[in-house]
Each structure stands twice: as structure tokens, then as C-alpha cells.
Chain A
């Protein structure tokens, strides 16, 4: 809300900027206005205090449930609640209306503490028709007794099939013990907008704000922000709808919750993982992002395209991923370290280029926003299936650095770190995120830009006469790269085996010297890594090991298990290749170790799977190979974030 208020303050006739004051005034004058119409009923109705709730809002796609959910999350965050939002994405781009496959919306988890994942089942669901609601019921996403706020207009639908379906579903859900509230949203909204497909979402937002005792003025500011690119009339209509929803819930619903907010001491920003990633690209000082559109990576490039030119930089949409990677390599070679952002299928296409960058020691940052695979797989769904492809996907011996972002905040800082490592070691750094981080929102402390995030200006000074482009340091394998424009540095870079002068060389010694040094750099880099901290206790019965977006869920599961008195801890790896020293010692302090990953592993429970043929989860393979410890694994490939409750259940099973 801040920026709008400031913008208003700046246009004050006296020209004096007093944002803070203006802010307060606005907020105060707006609030009573909002509440005037309302009877003091809300004051009488006592809010039930809860520490957290999971709220879902689902509709046909195009009805705005996603915007409602995101706004709801932002308003909650602004009052100081911990939030984590998860997008509910339909399986198809243009799904038929009122279909189970078409459910689109958002899940918002609210809590009085900072939260790191989307949680388990929902406590309250707002649904615009019974079919989209059914999709959530079928997916077991609702708690027993979950509160349902359902659009009631379908009950009297002129199409008897629809009316019947509505009646059946509502009867079934009531019988199953869900607390169903039928709400005449259409009837209430039609007073403000002729096309309720665009507007009901703000009515729903108003209801939710009332139910969760959120401040109406904050909600109004958020609506203004969400529609900032629209004209004043549209904003007004949406404000009216918001208000109507708020008042309606106040007058008609006997539902009121209060979640105590923990006041954040520093400013926070609320963005999703892809936005954080794009901001990280800007912060890293990289000038070129070469990409080819692919879900779920695209939204990062969309946002970056919007802001990158403001800092004089370029998002280049290449003709394919092969070209995008080669373009980025060209820019990096010329001294302008570049990033290429993609998802699984694109990573496969980039592999030859990545191999060249490894061979020729050109810095390069590759971001893989993982989705379900193989092949086109599940474009919009979360999976951690690319770890091994990132480590070993290319041909030949191609050592590169693989790191994974575990939180939204991490998406921001990982790119900055990756650029630094890439340029220091002249290596390829692959940053793995995934569809669940890409679209999830969570507040994190507003970063303060630091100049040391950026690379120094490119060196165009003459290189010493006798220097060679691949003068591998015998201890670290590191080189000083020569950049076009540097006098005396002329050489022909090649993807062929080459000697220190970059001359093509096939003799056995020269070939091995190159391979050895490129490998040595990975070891040199590895020495800079710190052993990651253990969450929970330093030793115990069971250690859960994870990487990437599962961190929040795993740690929450560990907290619950420890609260039950179980000696369970977790370890989360940011660097997957190379891995920090000391991990083996951590693993050895626990009786049992298992990885929890959002990828496939065989479970040795059928007739066919045994220790000779079992395929492990990716990280489990890596840890078993590295540490010779009998590490177990559990994984899910359901296309959605793993829930803490499920992890806790698996861990209990492992302990018994």
C-alpha cells in the first residue's frame, strides 16, 4: 500500500512530502467510512483465537480466485501475520467452466509465526461452484469438518443438470461433516457489476477479511494496488465489492477468527519465487538474460523483461533454448556474465552448451525452475526431478556447481551468489528452484542492495606478454580469463581438448591436464563451503535430509515430531555439487537417515523391488555414493509440494 499512498502524497498541492503522515490520515479517514454502514455486530461476535489457518479460494479460471488469494495473503502479511501462498493451477489453459479439472485459485496459510510452507489440509474454502470445490475434496485437501463458503446460485440454475449436481454435491458434503455455508455471492455482486465473473473475487476477499478480522483499510489499499494499472472507475467498483463482501459477512456469518500477528521489526517484501529470482538477476549485476519461454520459468522472465531495461539490460528471447544458452555463453565470453533461465526440457537442450562452457571455462548461470518430467511432463506442477540431470546431464566429465534455493528469499540471493561463484571460478553454476517456489509467496526481510553483489568493471588492460589463457593454478586449477578487448590476450577458445595456450591438443598428458584442472576447481570451491546446520538436535534416531523447496515442510515436520518427544532432526543442503565437508559426520550421528524429496524412488514393498534394483531418489543416490552410508529415501511425485503432515507420518513409520 505504501507506494500509492506516497504517490498521492507527492501530488499534494503544497508539494511537501510527508508520506508517513499522509499515510496515517488516509488510513484513519478511510476506516470509519468503511465501518459506518456496519452495525456493531462484529464487536459483539467474539472472534475465535487460532494460531493458524489454511484458507483456499477456488473458481473457474478467469474468475479471479488467484488474485483474491494473493491479495488476501498480502493483506494478512501487512498486518504482520506469517503467510505462505500456493497457487492452485488448473490442468488445462482453457478448461471448461464448472469442471473438476478447471479449479484455479490460491491456498493461503496464515499463522501467528513465520511459516515456511503451505501446510496440510485447509480449514476454510471459498468456492465459486461445487465442481471446483469437488476437485479439492477429491484431492484430500480439506480438513474433516472444513468450513465451506459456496456460491449458492447454482441451486436454482435453469439447467436442471446443474441444479441437480449442486444439490447432490452439497448434500454429500454436508453428510460428510463439512460445515457448508451457501452464499448468494452472485445476487450480492450483481448490484455492482453486470459480469459477476469479474468481481465476485473481491466480494470473496471482503468476506475473508471480515472472517479473519483483517483491517478493511488495509484491504482497500491492497485492492487499489492490485488494480493500479486500471482506471479509477474499475478501482471504485472493486472497492465497493470488497466492502459489500465485508459487510455481508459481518451481518450474516457467524464466523470470526483472530490470529495474533507477530509484528515484523524490519520492512518485509512479499513476492513469489520467480519475482525474487528476477530481482536477484538485477541485483547480481548481470546484463543479459537469454531465455526461451517455458512454464514455470516464464513468469520470472516476464517480470524481468518489465524491469531489466530500466537498468540498461536485456532479456533476449532466443529462437530456442540451445540458442539462449549459446547467446548467454557469448555474452559471458565477452565479459558480461549472463544468465539463462529455463525449466527441465530446456535444461536438456542446453546441455551441450553447458558442456562447452565447462570445457572452455566460461562463467555461466543457468536457472532451472523444475517442473514435472520427463518430457513435457507436468508443466505447471512441482517436482525435484532434475538434480541428477543438472549434475551429470551433459556428456563427458563436466564438473559444475549445482545449488538449490530453499525459500523465496533464497531465490533472490542464490542468483547473486551464483554469479559471483561463476565469475570467480570461471564455472557453470546451475541454480535449481521449482514450480512450488516459483509461485509461492512469503514475506522476507527487504534486501538492502550492496555494491559488492556486482562484478568489478570488465578488465580491458593488456595481459602480460607471456601469460596464457589457461594458466591453471597447480593448487586450485583456477585461471585468469582473457576477455576480448584485452591486448596480448588473443587466443582461440575452443571446445576441443586444449593446452594452456588454448591450442587444440590431443596428447594424453595435455588432455588429462585440462580435465584434472577443471575438476580441481570444484574441489577448490568445495573448500569454501560450510557444513550446513542441523535443524533439531545434533544426534538422534532419525535424520531427514532434503534440498530445495521442501525445506519448510521438512523442518515443520521435525518440529512436530520433536514436540511428540521423538529424536528426529533434519539437514538441508544448499550446495548439491560439490557438497560441504562434515556432512558424513552429521549423517553418522543418527541411527537412521532418509532423504525426503519431491521426486521418484522405488519403495521396496512390492514383489519386484529389492536392494538390487531399487531406484533411489536423486539426493539419496548422491549421498549413498559419496558417504557409503545406507541412506533410505522417501519421495512423492504428485505434482504438489509435500505436506509436513505426510513427512511426519513417513518419519513415524521409519522410527517404528
Chain B
């Protein structure tokens, strides 16, 4: 009912957090070579660099291989229901703006069962960092096609290949009103992955990062052509957006100067099929956050509750003395 007590937070810790302070005592149980490992590493690095207090940081996920991530973090974690990470994260953030909220979700989790929540989460634009681990397959349930699986992909539920074109998470996100941050990264370029996640973290609003994530277990060669051919990746750079180190720039020469405030171009870039864009496609810091729009003007103190309840009761009250008036007639 009241704002959180803060006294206990005043004995500021002068200790500095190291990477290991963000590692839980559970070793990650993803397959060797799974792209989720690189994402976890990038997040732990981010927490360290930002010195996020673990107790003030919440990782919310759905169900899937990717959604196991919160278990491997030393922070508060919420490994909830398949597809429902967004509304849980929204509920958390709504009355606890002091918490840093991250959402890790899979392509099935976000783009299939949770699709309605995804669309509306973009619209609410609550301040959270969203990592879509897109391996284009259902990993945890053992290789069924996902909405992002490429057409023709053979899986356990599509033994003769999928019939439909995949859904593009970037164009979908960019198509929703109130979109405020959209980026794409790949697990096999860890430095850029980190930079993008870091930019997403610093953006206030719903920061959506689609991460192309390798699943060596079920789609061992799906991303090979891109991994092997840096020219197939188009890096989006801009003084306001992503900046590349010299080393990365040497390897990834296919670059485009892209202004992240240019929504039309962002949509074009997002629709590329031959090449894979990597970088910040769109950012608009002006979009208001739902939690700010809905923030109460006054804290709900007991005194205020009493006053408001009394005001309301007053409207519906019959006083015993009403009766007297009748008799006085």
C-alpha cells in the first residue's frame, strides 16, 4: 500500500559487483554451443557494467529453453507461464518503478502463444528490456516449427516442411503504435550483442531486441551461412545508434548509416530478406510509458483511503436524521 521503505537502502554498499555476483549457483543447462549462453554472458556483463543491485533487478520469462535464463542469474527471477512473461513484467513494473525489469522470451513464447501480449506490451511501452531469443524453433519441446521458422523447415510437426512464410518479429514490432525501441542482434557477434543490449537497457520504454540465437541441437546449420559470411550481415551504424569497434568494423564491412529515428527506413531494413540487419532499427525516446501515465498523483496512504472512502460513502448514506425531517412535517 505505501511506497517501499527506503531506510534499508541507505547503507549503500561500497562493494563493487563483479560478474560472479550475477551468477546463480545453478550452472546453465543449455546444450553446448547454444546461443542462449552468449546472451546470458552479455546480460551478466551489462549488470556488472551498470552495477545493478541484484535485489533490484528482476528477470521475467515464460517457458522454453530461453526462459530458463532467470534461474542462472543471481537476481530476482520469475519463470512463469508459457507466453505470459509480458503481462507479469507489466504488473511488476506498474507499482515498482524502482525495479529494473528484463524479459527473456522465445520465439514460440513471444510470437505464438504470447503474441497478443507482445502486441499490447509494445503499445503499453512500459520501461523494460526485452530479449527475444529467436532460434526459429521450439527447443524445449523438441523441435516443432515456430512462427519464425523458415518456410519449408522440416520439424516434428511438419515432417514434409512448413507451408507458411515466417512471421517477422521486427516488422511486426515496428508496425505497432507506440513502438519505441527495436533492435536486432546475433548471438555469434557477442560484442555487438552486448552493445545493443546495453543501448536497449538505457532506453526508457519497451526496448525490444530480437536476437538470432543458434540452436545446435535442433537446427544445427540454420544460421551457418550468416555466421560464415559476415557480408550477409548488414550492420546499422549511426552516431545516435550503434558504433562499432575497429575490430568489428574490419570483419563486418557491410554497413549502413541508419538514423534510428527514421521509422520508414527502419521498416525497409527490417524487411530485408537477403541480408540480416544488425543494430538499432528504431528508437523514439519521446513515447510515454504506461506506468508513468498511470502513476497515482498521491500515494495511497491510510489517511487518503479513509478520506476517499468517506467521500464515497457520503454519496450513498442515509442518515438517521433524514427520518426526523419527515416527522417534523
Contact = CB atoms under 8 A, between A and B. Distances in A.
* Binding between chains A and B: yes
B94 A331 contact: yes
Interface in B295-324: 296-300, 302, 304-306, 308-323
Interface stretch (B70-78, B183-191, B200-208, B232-240): B70-78
A460 interface: yes
A161 B4 CA distance: 70
A323 B95 contact: no
Contacts of A145: none
Contacts of A323: 84, 86-87, 116-117, 120
A225 B320 CA distance: 18
A80 B180 CA distance: 59
B317 A454 contact: no
Contacts of B95: 287-288, 314, 331, 334, 336
A78 to B, nearest CB: 5
A425 interface: no
Contact of B96 (A218, A447, A484): A484
Contacts of B272: none
A495 interface: yes
Nearest to B324: A24
Contacts of B294: 314, 316
A2 B77 contact: no
Given A307-B308, A449-B305, A457-B2, A288 B91 contact: yes
Contact of A329 (B88, B116, B315): B88
B268 interface: no
B79 interface: yes
B305 A490 contact: no
Question: Chain A CB within 10 Å — which of B56, B94, B313, B322 has the most?
Answer: B322
B318 A485 contact: no
A31 interface: yes
A408 to B, nearest CB: 11
Interface in A453-495: 454-455, 457-462, 484-495
A77 interface: yes
A354 to B, nearest CB: 11
Nearest to A462: B8
Contact of A311 (B54, B99, B117, B300): B300
Interface stretch (A264-272, A399-407, A559-567, A627-635): A264-272
B132 interface: no
Interface string A209-236: 0000001011000000100000000000
Nearest to B69: A492
Question: Chain A CB within 10 Å — which of B93, B297, B315 has the most?
Answer: B315
Interface in A308-360: 309-314, 316, 318-320, 322-336, 338, 352-353, 356, 360
Contacts of B247: none
A503 B26 contact: yes
A492 B116 contact: no
Contacts of B317: 2, 267-269, 446
Nearest to B71: A492
Interface stretch (A238-246, A278-286, A578-586): A278-286
A215 B323 CA distance: 10
Nearest to A225: B315
Nearest to A314: B294
B308 A311 contact: yes
Interface in B12-58: 24, 26, 53-56, 58
Contacts of B96: 334-336, 484-485
Interface size class of A (residues with CB under 8 A): 35 or more
A496 B79 contact: yes
A568 B78 CA distance: 53
Contacts of A487: 8, 53, 55
Contacts of A63: none
A330 B91 contact: yes
A31 B329 contact: yes
Given A3-B315, A323-B87, A333 B55 contact: no
Given A267-B317, A326-B80, A457-B5, A320 B116 contact: yes
B246 interface: no
Nearest to B100: A484
A52 to B, nearest CB: 19
B323 to A, nearest CB: 5
Contact of B309 (A80, A290, A449, A458): A449
B314 A3 contact: yes
B75 A490 contact: yes
B313 A446 contact: yes
A489 B55 contact: yes
B309 A490 contact: no
Contacts of B98: 485
B259 to A, nearest CB: 32
Nearest to A262: B323
Nearest to A336: B95
Given A356-B81, A454-B302, A484-B96, 9 more contacts: A27-B325, A31-B329, A217-B325, A267-B319, A287-B1, A310-B308, A320-B116, A446-B317, A485-B4
- Across the A-B interface, give the 8 residue pairs with the lowest CB-CB distance, nearest first: A330-B91, A312-B296, A492-B77, A326-B87, A327-B91, A330-B88, A331-B91, A323-B87
22 contacts: A2-B317, A23-B321, A28-B325, A77-B318, A80-B323, A218-B326, A225-B315, A266-B320, A285-B1, A310-B311, A327-B88, A330-B60, A331-B92, A333-B78, A333-B92, A334-B58, A334-B99, A459-B5, A460-B4, A484-B55, A490-B54, A490-B74
Interface of B: 1-2, 4-6, 8-9, 24, 26, 53-56, 58-60, 63, 70-71, 73-81, 84, 86-96, 98-99, 116-117, 119-120, 294, 296-300, 302, 304-306, 308-323, 325-326, 328-329
